[in-house]
Amino acid sequence: MDADERELFATSLQHVTADNTGAALDAALDELGWREALPADPRAAVSLLFELQGAAGTTSSALDILVLAALGLDLDTDVGVVLPPLGRTDPPGSVAGEGVAVGGLAVGGLAGRDRVVVVAGGVEGCLAVVVDTADLELRSVHGLDPRLGIAEVTGANLSATARSDPPPTAWAAAVAAGQRAIGHELVGASRTMLGLAREHALERVQFGRPIASFQAVRHRLAEAHVAIEAADATLTAAWDDGTPFSAAMAKAVAGRSARTVGRHCQQVLAGIGFTTEHDLHLYVRRVIVLDRLLGDARSLTRRLGEDLLARRSLPSILPL
Amino acid sequence: MDLPEYRAAVDRWLDDNAADLTPDHGLAATLDEQMAHLSLVKRRTFDAGWMRWGWPERVGGLGGSTLLRAYLGEALTARDLVEPGIYSMTEVLAPTMIDYAPPELAATMVPRLLRGDETWCQGFSEPGTGSNLASLSCRATRTDDAWRVTGQKVWTSLAQYAQRCVLLTRTGTPESAHKGITALFVDMDTPGITVRPIETMHGALEFCEVFFDDVAVPFDRTLGDEGQGWAVAMDLLPFERSTSLWHRGAYLYRRLERILAAVREGAVTPMELGEVFQQLYAFRARSLATQRRVDAGERLGAETSVDKILLATSEQAVYDLVADGLSDEVVLGDDPVSERWRSEFLYSRAATIYGGSAEIQRNIVARRLLDLGADR
């Protein structure tokens, strides 16, 4: 995409992500040609859509689509994918005897999806099978963020209707693709929270002046801005670098940043931000869940520290 | 010369000349030794051409991308050949001269700074003027033949070594605030200048009080126009937060690597280490984007306060890890390696104070980037 095409695409995406969610957003994205844009310019397609989706607080099946694409699976549009349980990044499936077992999550609740891809195996090599949705046990999750439409997925002795052996690095690539996407979604949600808090701080008058004039409030919002910029920079680096390592770094930084932004913005929005009359709570809920999808900041950070301590050296990073 | 070519050539040259460039005393040396060694490294890299890349030809440079400068500083600090704080003064003061000095003055002076023939200092803060820079009162009065400067500066790094000073003076009325400030380029051997070093917590005589008593400064040493000093300062400060910070980040990365090699089993948790690494990584990602913007010719501004906040936070996090993970060295050690850890740990406490405190940086973010309006 050149700059003009990108801008046009961004404007269209902004409209559809603001006005639609779930199946309606999926349909709008199809009409817009997002699926075609994904292989042509994955960076633009993913960063634009997920940041806008995060900013609007809407949902789509785009995460499933890009995870499947990263697995190298060329499937029909009505196929979903099972993601690992919260905080995990290993494949959610396992091979047991003749059948496949699975325990994980589906975003968007697999609505309208007759078939689902289950990836089994380890990072060293994996097996992808297609199973019928009807064979799975689905628990529609209300939970912390009901609007995200999560379903808990379990199944045992599943028989595959199709199977493939993706290359050994495919699962890591799929996780990395998902982490970058969710990273952008976290940044988008963070920007909205900061925008809401900023607006409130400028309008809310106490002691005869807007609370935005008080340094304690200004510094919280400044902290939130710095956190967002840090996450944004690690995402840029992740696209430039393209490795699972940089994607995990970006996801961890974006997850922690979004939680930081949520904390500061909620404090600035004070009473009204604690009510359902204001939108903030939707984003506070959303970022906590997104942080825990495909590896949360805490686990990713601890694992990173363990690796570094085991090796006693640092990887070379982000060359000029 | 492009960056990959430059990088390969510099690395090769540094490998070949390692013996000549490595300080005998290590970097735990006294500041006198560090300054002498810095001059040597700058002279050798200048004479070999490396120091000249990335600077305009009209000030003795060889042209090319600013990324080359960023890489040279990274390579020198990563190999422990220079301490980044004193090395990177060039990155702050030379661009100011290039932008604001009369062209012939810049052409004469900048090569001396690049080659390490001279040290320059930056006379901004005063006893009554810390965070509120626009309130400065060191006065320059226009006489028939020259400016006459009287007043006092403080926290002036390396003033006792400096041949020149980029000095902010009050030329308007005391109430003129940022409108009545003029920047001058002052020879430090001019009669009437007294320098008194101040010992810091980490044991160095790094910064000074500088007293000016009716000091004559020729008019052709004015940087920009009379009354333009605020613009000079505002354009200089982003340089403090771009290439210099890249160098410092590269240095911290190497020091973190040393910590990791030296730390005793169980002294730091994976979580602590992971968080520090992540902070430094996020800073580097941010600074990388800034280096690319400089390279693309973009004018830097208030957004560099984000870089500074991330770096200062990372730097303290790295050395908090030292305090915990190498506590025996920091608390009890009297050998040179321990003394260096201790000195660096103590120095890191200033990271959120110098070059615009953490609070001032957040004020800038709030006012200029978030457009939150005035703070009173």
B306 contact residues in A (CB cutoff 8 A):
225-226, 229-230
Domain at B241-369: CATH code = 1.20.140.10
Instruction: Assess whether pLDDT exceeds 80 at residue B26.
Output: no
Cβ distance A230 to B283 less than 8 Å, yes or no, reads yes
Average the pLDDT over A251-260 and give the result: 98
Q: Are A201 and A303 contained in the same domain?
A: yes
In a domain, residue A208? The reply is: yes
Distance, in angstroms, between B133 CA and closest chain A CA? 19
**∠ CA(B129), CA(B310), CA(A274), 5° rounding?**
100
Rounded CA-CA distance A218/A197 in Å is 10
Q: Are β-strands B120-123 and B164-170 bridged in parallel, bridged antiparallel, or unpaired?
A: parallel
pLDDT in tens, A13-66: 999 999 999 999 999 999 999 999 999 999 999 999 999 999 999 999 999 999
Least confident piece of the model among A248-252, A299-303, B79-83:
B79-83
| Tally of domains within chain A | 3
Average the pLDDT over A69-95 and give the result: 90
Residues B184 and B176: beta-carbon distance below 8 Å: no
- Here the tokens at position B172 are 């308007």
Average the pLDDT over B237-256 and give the result: 93
Residue among B258, B370, B375 with most chain A CBs within 10 A, to mutate: B370
Read off the pLDDT band of A108 (50, 70, 90): confident
Average the pLDDT over B290-295 and give the result: 95
B240 is catalytic: yes
Is B236 an 8 Å CB contact of chain A? no
CA B79 to chain centre: 19
- Here the tokens at position B69 are 């400068």
Q: Where does a domain end: A141, A165, A189?
A: A165
Residues B102 and B220: beta-carbon distance below 8 Å: yes
Q: What are phi and psi of A92, to 5 degrees?
A: -80, -10
Q: Are A39 and A136 contained in the same domain?
A: no
- Here the tokens at position B238 are 């982003």
B370 contact residues in A (CB cutoff 8 A):
194, 198, 218, 221-222, 225
Look at residues A92, A261, A264, A114 and name the one whose alpha carbon lies nearest to residue A175: A92
Average the pLDDT over A269-288 and give the result: 98
Rounded CA-CA distance A252/A244 in Å is 12
Read off the pLDDT band of A93 (50, 70, 90): very high
Give the model's pLDDT for residue B27: 66
Q: Which residues contact A271 (CB under 8 A, 6 or more apart)?
A: none
Residues B215 and B149: beta-carbon distance below 8 Å: yes
Q: Give the number of other Cβ atoms within 10 Å of residue B357's Cβ.
A: 16
Which positions 273-292 of B are in contact with A (Cβ < 8 Å)? 273-275, 277-278, 281-286, 288-289, 291
Read off the pLDDT band of A122 (50, 70, 90): low
A222 contact residues in B (CB cutoff 8 A):
309, 361-363, 365-366, 369-370
- DSSP3 helix / strand / coil % (chain B, rounded to 5): 55, 15, 30
Exposure string for B140-159, b = 16+ CB within 10 A, e = fewer? beeeeebbbbbbbbbbbbbb
pLDDT in tens, B27-54: 667 899 999 999 999 999 999 999 999 9
Nearest to A218 among B274, B278, B372 (CB): B372
The overall average pLDDT reported for chain A is 94
Which positions 177-206 of A are in contact with B (Cβ < 8 Å)? 194, 198, 201-202
Q: How far apart are the first and last CA of chain A?
A: 25
Q: Are β-strands B207-217 and B147-157 bridged in parallel, bridged antiparallel, or unpaired?
A: antiparallel
Cβ distance B369 to A225 less than 8 Å, yes or no, reads yes
Helix (H, G, I), strand (E, B) or coil at B351: coil
Residues B317 and B275: beta-carbon distance below 8 Å: yes
Amino acid at A3: A
Instruction: Assess whether pLDDT exceeds 90 at residue A199.
Output: yes
CA B176 to chain centre: 28
Domain CATH for A110:
2.40.110.10
A215 contact residues in B (CB cutoff 8 A):
359, 363, 375
Say which of B240, B303, B315, B344 is annotated catalytic. Answer: B240
Which positions 289-318 of A are in contact with B (Cβ < 8 Å)? 298, 300-306, 308-309, 312-314, 317-318
Rounded CA-CA distance A62/A215 in Å is 41
* C-alpha to C-alpha distances, B35 to A8, A175, A205, B113, B206, nearest whole angstrom: 55, 49, 54, 13, 11
Cβ distance B274 to A302 less than 8 Å, yes or no, reads yes
Distance, in angstroms, between A229 CA and closest chain B CA? 8
Q: Are A261 and A131 contained in the same domain?
A: no
Q: Are A51 and A85 contained in the same domain?
A: no
Rounded CA-CA distance B235/B246 in Å is 18
Q: Give the number of other Cβ atoms within 10 Å of residue A225's Cβ.
A: 25
Average the pLDDT over B258-277 and give the result: 96
Nearest to A198 among B271, B272, B370 (CB): B370
Q: What are phi and psi of B93, to 5 degrees?
A: -90, -35
Q: Are A139 and A192 contained in the same domain?
A: no
Nearest to A218 among B74, B270, B375 (CB): B375
Amino acid at A174: A
In a domain, residue A319? The reply is: no
Instruction: Assess whether pLDDT exceeds 80 at residue A230.
Output: yes
Is A213 an 8 Å CB contact of chain B? yes
Residues A298 and B271: beta-carbon distance below 8 Å: yes
Give the model's pLDDT for residue B204: 87
Cβ distance B260 to A233 less than 8 Å, yes or no, reads no
Q: Where does a domain end: A70, A89, A107?
A: A70
Q: Please list the residue range(s) of chain B that carry CATH number 1.20.140.10.
A: 241-369
Q: Are A207 and A303 contained in the same domain?
A: yes
Q: Are A97 and A186 contained in the same domain?
A: no
Find out if CATH 2.40.110.10 is the number for domain B121-228.
yes
The overall average pLDDT reported for chain B is 95
Helix (H, G, I), strand (E, B) or coil at B182: strand
Average the pLDDT over A93-98 and give the result: 84
Cβ distance A237 to B257 less than 8 Å, yes or no, reads no
Average the pLDDT over A124-129 and give the result: 82
Domain at B3-118: CATH code = 1.10.540.10
Q: Are A1 and A50 contained in the same domain?
A: yes
Q: Which residues contact B23 (CB under 8 A, 6 or more apart)?
A: B29, B33, B34, B37, B81
Rounded CA-CA distance A233/B116 in Å is 34
Domain CATH for A260:
1.20.140.10
A303 contact residues in B (CB cutoff 8 A):
270, 274
HSE toward the beta carbon, residue B73, CA cutoff 13 A: 28
Average the pLDDT over A223-246 and give the result: 98
Amino acid at B349: R
In a domain, residue A316? The reply is: no
B376 contact residues in A (CB cutoff 8 A):
213
Q: Does the CA dihedral B109-B113-B115-B117 come out positive or negative?
A: positive
Helix (H) or strand (E) holding A211: none
Q: Are A95 and A58 contained in the same domain?
A: no
Which positions 74-103 of A are in contact with B (Cβ < 8 Å)? none
Q: Which residue in A has a C-alpha nearest to residue B73's C-alpha? A: A320
In a domain, residue A97? The reply is: yes
Is B201 an 8 Å CB contact of chain A? no
Give the model's pLDDT for residue B206: 87
Cβ distance A301 to B365 less than 8 Å, yes or no, reads no
Cβ distance A219 to B359 less than 8 Å, yes or no, reads yes
* C-alpha to C-alpha distances, A64 to A27, A71, A119, nearest whole angstrom: 15, 11, 13
Q: Please list the residue range(s) of chain B that carry CATH number 1.10.540.10.
A: 3-118
Give the model's pLDDT for residue A109: 64
Instruction: Assess whether pLDDT exceeds 70 at residue A124.
Output: no
Cβ distance B288 to A304 less than 8 Å, yes or no, reads no
Amino acid at A316: S
Helix (H) or strand (E) holding B102: none
Instruction: Assess whether pLDDT exceeds 60 at residue B221.
Output: yes
Which positions 28-87 of B are in contact with A (Cβ < 8 Å)? 67, 70-71, 74
As a residue count, chain A comes to 320
Give the model's pLDDT for residue B91: 93
Q: Are A303 and A214 contained in the same domain?
A: yes
Is B357 an 8 Å CB contact of chain A? no
Q: Give the number of other Cβ atoms within 10 Å of residue B31's Cβ.
A: 19
* C-alpha to C-alpha distances, A274 to A197, A227, A278, nearest whole angstrom: 12, 22, 8
Higher local confidence (pLDDT), A126 or B124:
B124
Q: Are A174 and A160 contained in the same domain?
A: no
**Domain of residue A62, residue span:** 1-70
Cβ distance A309 to B273 less than 8 Å, yes or no, reads yes
Instruction: Assess whether pLDDT exceeds 90 at residue A315.
Output: yes
DSSP assignments along B192-258, one per residue: TEEEEEE--TTS---EEEEEEEEEEE-GGGEESSTT-HHHHHHHHHHHHTTHHHHHHHHHHHHHHHH
User: Is the entire prediction scored with pTM above 0.90?
Assistant: yes
